[in-house]
Amino acid sequence: MNRDAILALLRQVEGGSVLPAEALDKLSNLPFEDAGFAKIDHHRSLRLGLPEVIYAAGKTPEQVAEIFARMAVAGGDVIATRAGVAAWDAVKQMVPAAEYHTEARIIGLRQTDVSSNAGRVAVLCAGTSDIPVAEEAAVTAEYLGVKVDRVYDVGVAGLHRLLAQHETLREARAVIVCAGMEGALPSVVGGLVAAPVIAVPTSVGYGAAFGGLTALLGMLNSCAPNVSVVNIDNGFGAAYVAAMMLRSAAAAARDLARQLESM
């Protein structure tokens, strides 16, 4: 249950449409719900402003579905990453309203209005082979309330393709860049934008790419000071960090506006 859902529940109690005992029952699973095989952190959205996300890889389809359904009952948006078709089949039996984003391998359920004025994130990838990781980042960011511009297949082997996207890059408040091979694209983007760049090395490339290790090391050694790096293929992590950046910046802008109004 997120902050908005709890506030709505308290207003229902205040208005008399929900009995205090009913509200207490709904709040009883805070800060977490023990499902036996998992402890579901319903309190995370209150602490961080963003929900807990299910990492489906390594879990059985039945475990993914059970966690997903319990989180859905709590009233917030639900995301399961690295979810295969078997997990999706299990989830849709328990939560028919859920959606499967095949390329991103994400199962999602939208239950709240998460529209945000925090600005836009551009998600870039160097080549078509990087799209699954880029889509994991883009879809995750959208579920977290961030507006996303996708810019795909703009690697350094054809630099004119990237330069043609200057308007989109100029409007982005943060840029997520997914690249394999030698991982050069984030450094190039870092030199073009006045925004933080979150680099995502992908496990794409021939033998000496070492499953993304070469790209990871290249990105860590970037000379562009606005580039930070997440782990190999971690589009989800990049999106989560970008969403928190934008939320923090938006909150700071609102605080400044209130201070100016009170002067």
User: Domain-by-domain residue ranges, the chain?
Assistant: 29-109, 120-240
At 45, which helix (H) or strand (E)?
A: helix 44-48
pLDDT tens-place string over residues 103-161: 999 999 988 776 666 689 999 999 999 999 999 999 999 998 899 999 999 999 888 99
Distance separating alpha carbons of residues 50 and 38, to the nearest angstrom: 19
Kindly state the average pLDDT of the residues 19-36. Answer: 65
* pTM for the predicted model, two decimal places: 0.80
pLDDT tens-place string over residues 198-217: 999 999 999 999 999 999 99
CB 70 within 8 A of CB 64: no
Cβ neighbours of 251 (radius 10 Å): 12
Is residue 8 over pLDDT 60?
A: yes
Give the architecture (CATH level 2) of 120-240.
3-Layer(aba) Sandwich (3.40)
CB 212 within 8 A of CB 206: no
Distance separating alpha carbons of residues 71 and 56, to the nearest angstrom: 14
For the chain, give the longest Cα–Cα distance: 66
Per this entry, what is the length of the chain? 263
